[in-house]
Structure formats: structure tokens, C-alpha cells
A and B are shown apart, each in its own frame.
Chain A
Amino acid sequence: MTDQTPLPPARGCRDTPVLKERGQREVFCGLTGIVWLHRKMQDSFFLVVGSRTCAHLLQSAAGVMIFAEPRFGTAILEEKDLAGMADAHDELDREVARLLSRRPDIKRLFLVGSCPSEVIKIDLSRAAERLTKLHAPHVRVLNYSGSGIETTFTQGEDACLASMVPDLPETDARELMMVGALPDVVEDQALALLADMGIGPVRVLPARRAEGTPAVGPNTVFALTQPFLGDTHAALIRRGATPIDAPMPFGDEGTTAWLAAIAREFGVDQETFERVTAAPRARARKAIAAQSAALNGRSVFFFPDSQLEVPLARFLTRECGMTAIEVGSPFIHGQIAAPDLDLMAEGPRLSEGQDVDKQLDRCRDARPDLTVCGLGLANPLEAEGLTTKWAIELVFTPVHFYEQAGDLAGLFARPLRRKDVLRLEAAE
């Protein structure tokens, strides 16, 4: 079979100057990460220490999920908690004890910091230590901050995973660690592909249950499956682990390059690699081709949201024939983003941070065929005649690796196809 992947561009985007903007940001805070993290970590509970706003945000982001006895909640700060700092810890201890008696199945409790708790400087790390002693050995209490002042959307997952790293057991084994919360179905596919190449055992961070928590040490190598894990990346290196640099596993090309980087590290021969990847690659290409007809030749504009923007722009430009006008990201991590930037041809404007009104002006001027943005902007832009794809879906839907490559292209193609099928103007 011939390789249909386009050749890497002569000059990628690695050295493209990044437009750094400050101003009003239309983004979620890191607390939102809880909504998918709690699904992944089945015996963990996420307790936000924050305000009614935090609770309201989680409720709005979680939608109907809130009614399914979710394993997250908010300890809402009240007037009396602000008046004197002395009893904030007593209050927290009481609420945690109440919570754990109600949910004896919980093995790990995350105290999640918010803007209010960070501003009044409630020491949640000390609280976590104290509560761990209090509830040992049954429950381990950890803490991280998901506040808006420190984290943007998916950075909440990064902060959470990074908080677990110092706590991981030590090992000398040469093991691969796959880092990033993926939907179970996707995780299983990735593990199966690696196993077929003879790579194993593979550990996953975060593990589905507390007892499956991976160990780490100087012989650990790790590969990120998500681009937004900068702090976790650094924390793992601090524990002696070695990162494998690779593009993110989106699309046929991304997945193949991601697997190839790991195969090289573990000395898998070319023949084995071809045998394992040929069939799913062909399936992925076929599925992408079916979906990407609507995308070919169209332009795309990314507002910053999840840090997935760079690898997704790479996928859309190289495998679906789109042109990127602007790729906005809340944060571009040099080392992690580099393999994806290298593959993306020079041309699009890269922007980091946001001044939303100015960025909207740029978007309106460019009139892109497709705009990837948050829910607060999507309907207003549609009303202005722009076609949009709301970004949050890309975080909740299985989109990584071969079998989801067609679905991923489909997510972007659907709004354009819908625009084509609706004949509403004629009725007026």
C-alpha cells in the first residue's frame, strides 16, 4: 500500500512568531475539567472549595450529567467563612467527613481550589495533608487548583494529573506511561495497538481506579495523548521519566506518527509496525476521505479554548485539505507543540491568549468558512452568517486514534453540510 500522507512542509510553523494578546478572554476555567475527569477516575470525588459561581459553572457545564449522582460537588464559601480564617479548616473538615460518610466508595478525594479560595488563600495543600492522615488508609486526599485566575479549561486536567505525580509510587522498571484522560473505548484501542507491537506493560495516567495508579522512575518513558499537559510533563521529568516527543494522535497521520515514535523508542521493527498499523490506517483514511469532502478547500479559524487547536489545525490542513487562517490557543507549550507545528505548513496566524473583541474583528474580516469557538460565541457568530463548530465537543467526544479519525473529520464537516442542506432563506 502506498503512503498517501502529504509530505512534511519545507517550512513548518515552529518558528512562526506567535501573536500574544491580553484582554477579555472568553474561556472556561480549569474547574470544567472535573466534568470529564470524574467519569474517568471511577473512585475519585472532586470537591471544589469555592463560591456559588463555581457551583453554577459546574452545573452549566455538566448539563444533564448533574442528575446522575456525579462524584463532584462544591463546598460553597459563606459570609462567615470570609469573616475569620480560623475556622475555614474546621468547616472543611466537617464537610469532608459528611461527604465521605455519605460516599464510602470514594478512595481518592481532590480538594479543588477556585478563584475565591486562592484569593483568600485557604491552604488546601495543608488541608489535604491533614485530611489524608485523618481518613487514612481508606481515602487519599490530594489538592490542585482549577481556578480561572490560574488555569484555562483543559489545564484543569493538567493541574489534577500534576498533583498526582509526586504521589506516584517509585519503580525502576522500563515501562511506557500513556498520559492524558481518554474515553475508555479510545484508551482500549491504543493499548491494543501497543500490545500488538509487543510493547508492554503500558500504564495509564490517570488510571480508572485508585489501585491501578502507575508507578514512575528513571526508566519510565511517557507519551502524552493530550497537548495541554505541560505541568504534568514537567512533573514526570522531575521524577526522572523521559518524554517521547510526538505529534498528538489525531487523524491517520497523527496516530501513525505517535505510534511510530513509541515504536522507535522500544525498538519495534518496521515489519511489525506495518503489520499492526496497515489495516487500521487504511480504515482511518477511508473514513476521513468520506467525511472530508465537505472540508476540502475551505478555511478555518480557531478561537482559543482547549490547546487542542494546534494539533487539530494540523489534522484539518494536512488530512482534510483545509486552510487555517488563525489558530488561537490559550497557551502554546514550546516542546509539546513542536512536532505538530513542524507538520503544519507556514501560513496561518498563531495566537496565544485573547482579546476577544479584537479577535472577533479579525474573524469577521477573514470570513472563514468554519469557525471553531466556545458556546458563548457560536450562536452570535451563526447569526452573523458564519458557520461554527463548538469546541467543547472535541474534549468530550472520542476523537483520538485511528477508529475515531473519520468521526473527528465528521465533527467539522457536519456544520458545513448542515449549512448546505438548510433552505431557510427561500421560505421568507
Chain B
Amino acid sequence: MKLTVWTYEGPPHVGAMRVATGMTGLHYVLHAPQGDTYADLLFTMIERRNHRPPVTYTTFQARDLGSDTANLFKTALQDAYDRFQPQAIIVGASCTAELIQDDPGGMSETMGLPIPVIPLELPSYQRKENFGADETFFQIVRTLAQPMDRTEAITANLIGPTALGFRHRDDIEELTRLLADMGIGVNVVAPMTSSPADIARMGAAHFNVLMYPETAETAARWCEKNLGQPYTKVVPIGVGATRDFIAEVQAITGVTTRPDESRLRLPWWSSSVDSTYLTGKRVFIFGDGTHVAAAARIARDEMGFEVTGVGCYNREMARPIRALAREMGVEALISDDYLEVEETIERLAPEMILGTQMERHIGKRLGIPCAVISAPVHVQDFPARYSPQMGFEGANVIFDTWIHPLVMGLEEHLLHMFREDFEFHDDAGASHHGGKHVARDETGDIRPGAAPEPVGTGDEVQDQTGADVAVWLAEAERELKKIPFFVRGKAKRNTESFAAMRGVTEISVETLYEAKAHYAR
């Protein structure tokens, strides 16, 4: 057993639901107890879908346990077929049904429905949501896709997007445009937007664009082997990655046309002087492997940040993320325990977090700005407006998204200038966050009724009394507090490690500035 409060991923049958809900003409009959229908609301609420997910649950109850559950499954399957008339059905068990061992695959086979019925084996006690999506899509492709003549014009399948995917809707549109610019058509987009009939004609494409390795890599490999379709390895998130992706597509197809870059604004925005303050901003990056790898490259090469740590929660991507961490000279964190992520962030004290919904809340707790780059995400990250992550428009979106939580350059400069000003001191918090502002009185004390200080801004100087931690002299501590709160954590850490390096046990104002000079770049 493992104690958990937050889970980055749902169980594997939720992954199967993501595939089914993204598709049309497909129905999922899930052997599951009453209550598992909760997963419907992820789709109807978070993604705001206007239809129920195409899932029929057997919703067995305690009194059904015994031989009855098998009949319940058969009835549910027959009813679902009669009512929805799908082109194909997938069947499987949720975690509880896995324990009662009714074998949905075997039972459905005996019923002889006139459409393909695809059984899913999703080990709920070992694997998770992304595996469920990947495996389900693979089984659907393996059952339905056939080798066939290629389309006359060069076309690609876009594979990997699912329901409840982070920005999948707009990534499809952006990639379709990018390929169209190169004169390449799209054959099938799957699983999202496709029907079983579409899957059957996947073989007509010249190659596959693997948009999200988490949800479609197994299918991509199968198509390569059985349909002779190469697939792209670069995920086009970020300017550099998009250009590499274009080169990869050119190598696969022999096409030489380059897509239009006139809409791309990230390079100039990032080069403009107001972005200078971004240089060396220390960021911590966490999420699913694909988005983390893409974000790390953008952060370092396109934004000029310093990457202080990378990690992912899906262990399927552990190897590439470890390799990435080695290349960047930082540690890799492969964990699905958010407490471990929180500890790592506290220890590294980054100036910005790029993560999931969960890291957004960790950031809020620690007073560190955060932008969301990966699922799991909440309803606000299924926006109405066009906001892809992929391609050139995706790069523009990413620049804006990452920059907004940070205090803009000019604003930061002003905060430095007025750091001891009665209004702009650090206890005031960010000035544009209404209701939180606390002015100081003439003596420099916070007035009564003051808002609580943000946690973890480096003010917990007194708390650390370990033998290896130098003692801060009162005057040095006051000086430390004059440093704006968003860089104070870094200054404190640097000073302490400088003191430790020199064997200094008491930190004075002198030590503080010597450390500053030592670390000056």
C-alpha cells in the first residue's frame, strides 16, 4: 500500500476513456462498480464537452456479486450496441472488476456482435492513465488498420491527441497548418476526431506525426513495422524543436518547401531589451516527460533561463528525462509523489516553476511564480481562445504564458529602486494583487492587521539551526531582508554556501556582500 492524497494520473481505464471520448463512432463498455461514472465529469466539466462520454458502465452493486455480474456485463454490452449502433466497441474492466475476473473479452467474443469488439487488458494495480490511453489506441489501431495504397499526394497521420489532453485541440490545428504550408496533407488525426472507419484507412498516409509519445508511441511503432510508415521523433514544441521537426519531415518526405515563419514572434520578443532581466532566471520544470523535455529546451535556449531541475511523473519517460538532466547538468526527479516534488522545489528555491496544476499550488504556497506546461490541468487550462503549444503560434503562446507570472522587467527595476520605500517593501507582496497590500508605519513595522507574509520567501532565517548552518548576525539579517523577496532565497542560499565554503560560522553584512561579489556573473 502507498499513502496518496494527490495523483498525477488516474487509473488506466480513464486513459481508455480519453481515447474513446476523443473518437466518434466508438463505444466503450466498462465493467465497473457503481460510482466509477465519476470520471464522466472530467470530460463534461473540465473539458466542457457537450455530450456524455461514449461509455456504458455495468455499475454492479454488492447484491450483484457472484455469477450475476457476468450477465450484467453481457446485457450492458447488448444494450449499448442496440442503443448507440457504434462502428466498433472496446470492452474492459476497471480496478474492481479486474478483481472479480469476469473476462469481458471472452464474454463479448461469445456474443457475436456484427462489429469489431476490441478487448483491453489494463492492469489497474500496476499501470496508470497514460499507459491506458497508449495501450487502448494501440489495440484499436492493431485491430482496424490495414496496409493499403498510399495517397497520391504526400499525407501524414497526426497521432496521439486524446480527450482531456493538454492543448491537444489547438495543437492539431497548428500542426495541420504547418504541414499544409509544406504542401503535406493530413490523412487521419487519431484518436481525437477519428472514427473506427478513419482508423481503418490510416495505412494510406506516407508517415505518422507522433504528437504525444505518452499516448501513441506503441501505435506508432506498430504502424512503422506493419504499415511501413516512419514516424517523427521530434515533438514540435518551441522554435528550435519546430525547426528540427520540419527538417525531420523534409528528410522523411523529400519535400523542400519551408513553412511560413512570419507569424513567429518569440525570437524577437525574447531578444528585445525588456527581456534582458529573464537571463539566468532559475526555473524548475516538472510535468509529463514530453512537455518537460520541450520546456527545458525552450527555457535554456530560447528564453535564457537557467534550468535548476527537471522531472516527470510518468515513469514511461524516465529514461529520456534522466538523459536530459545529465545533458543540462542538473538532477532528474522521477516521482509521482507531490510531497517529494514540493521538497525538491523548496530545496532548489527556483525563481519560477513550470509544471502542472499541482506545481501551481506548490508555487502559490511557496510564493514562487508558476506557469502550467502539462497535464494534469484544471478547467482554466481548457481555454476558449486559440492557445496551442506546438508550432510557431505555440511558441508565441508559450512566451506570453511563461512571462506573465513574472514581474516585468521595468517593474522589477522599480521594485529594486524603491525596495525600502514605505509602499514597495517586500511585506507588501505583489502590488497589483488587490486586497493584500500592507503599508508600513514610520518605524518600519508592519501595521496591525497586516496580511500574512508569503511562505518560504527566505524569511525563515532563524528557523535553521543545524550544525552546518552558519548563524546570521542581526545586522546581516536586516540587510538580507532589504533584498527583494523574489531573489532573497537565492541570496540567502548563496551566502550560506559561501560561508560554509570558507568555514565562516557567523554571517555578517560583510559576508553577505563578499558572497554577492563571489557569485556575481
Contact (A119, B65) CB under 8 Å given A27-B37, A59-B7, A378-B44: yes
Question: How does the 8 Å CB contact mask read for A114-134 relative to B, with 1 for contact and 0 for none?
Answer: 011011100000000000000
How many whole Å from A259's CB to the nearest CB in chain B?
Answer: 36
B48 near A379 with CB under 8 A, answer yes
B65 near A57 with CB under 8 A, answer no
Of B11, B35, B38, B51, which one neighbours A52 at CB under 8 angstroms?
B11
A56 near B14 with CB under 8 A, answer yes
Contacts of A196 in B (CB 8 A): none
B1 near A116 with CB under 8 A, answer no
A78 near B125 with CB under 8 A, answer yes
CA distance A376 to B45 in the complex (A): 7
In the complex, whether B318 has a CB less than 8 A from a CB of chain A is no
CA distance A79 to B35 in the complex (A): 22
B4 near A76 with CB under 8 A, answer yes
In the complex, whether B83 has a CB less than 8 A from a CB of chain A is yes
B2 near A66 with CB under 8 A, answer no
Of B1, B33, B44, which one neighbours A375 at CB under 8 angstroms?
B44
A149 near B96 with CB under 8 A, answer yes
B62 near A150 with CB under 8 A, answer yes
In the complex, whether B41 has a CB less than 8 A from a CB of chain A is yes
Which residues, 4 to 60 on B, are CB-close (under 8 Å) to A? 4-7, 9-11, 13-14, 33-42, 44-45, 48-52, 56-60
A56 near B10 with CB under 8 A, answer yes
How many whole Å from A127's CB to the nearest CB in chain B?
Answer: 12
Contacts of A29 in B (CB 8 A): 33-36, 38
B99 near A53 with CB under 8 A, answer no
Which among B13, B35, B40, B58 has the highest number of chain A CB atoms within 10 Å? B35
Contact (A26, B125) CB under 8 Å given A49-B1, A78-B2, A379-B50: no
Contacts of B37 in A (CB 8 A): 24-27, 376
Which residues, 1 to 37 on A, are CB-close (under 8 Å) to B? 23-32
Which residues, 322 to 380 on A, are CB-close (under 8 Å) to B? 357, 374-380
A51 near B11 with CB under 8 A, answer yes
In the complex, whether A383 has a CB less than 8 A from a CB of chain B is yes
Of B35, B58, B61, B378, which one neighbours A57 at CB under 8 angstroms?
B35
CA distance A164 to B459 in the complex (A): 44
Contacts of B45 in A (CB 8 A): 375, 379
Contacts of A66 in B (CB 8 A): 5-6
Number of interface residues of A (CB under 8 A): 62
Question: How does the 8 Å CB contact mask read for B120-132 relative to A, with 1 for contact and 0 for none?
Answer: 0001111010000
In the complex, whether B154 has a CB less than 8 A from a CB of chain A is no
CA distance A412 to B180 in the complex (A): 49
Contacts of A136 in B (CB 8 A): none
Of A23, A99, A357, which one neighbours B3 at CB under 8 angstroms?
A99
Contacts of B11 in A (CB 8 A): 51-53, 56
Contacts of A243 in B (CB 8 A): none
In the complex, whether A152 has a CB less than 8 A from a CB of chain B is yes
B38 near A57 with CB under 8 A, answer yes
A73 near B125 with CB under 8 A, answer no
In the complex, whether A81 has a CB less than 8 A from a CB of chain B is yes
In the complex, whether B95 has a CB less than 8 A from a CB of chain A is yes
B38 near A149 with CB under 8 A, answer no
In the complex, whether B387 has a CB less than 8 A from a CB of chain A is no
B33 near A147 with CB under 8 A, answer yes
In the complex, whether A70 has a CB less than 8 A from a CB of chain B is yes
In the complex, whether B94 has a CB less than 8 A from a CB of chain A is yes
Which residues, 59 to 83 on A, are CB-close (under 8 Å) to B? 59-61, 64, 66-67, 70, 72-79, 81-82
A70 near B5 with CB under 8 A, answer yes
B4 near A82 with CB under 8 A, answer no
A53 near B56 with CB under 8 A, answer no
Of B4, B13, B34, which one neighbours A25 at CB under 8 angstroms?
B34
A67 near B36 with CB under 8 A, answer no
A115 near B33 with CB under 8 A, answer yes
Q: Can you list 21 pairs linking A and B with CB atoms under 8 Å apart?
A: A24-B37, A29-B33, A30-B35, A51-B96, A52-B128, A53-B13, A53-B95, A55-B7, A57-B38, A61-B38, A64-B378, A66-B6, A73-B4, A81-B1, A98-B3, A148-B59, A150-B61, A150-B62, A357-B79, A380-B49, A383-B51
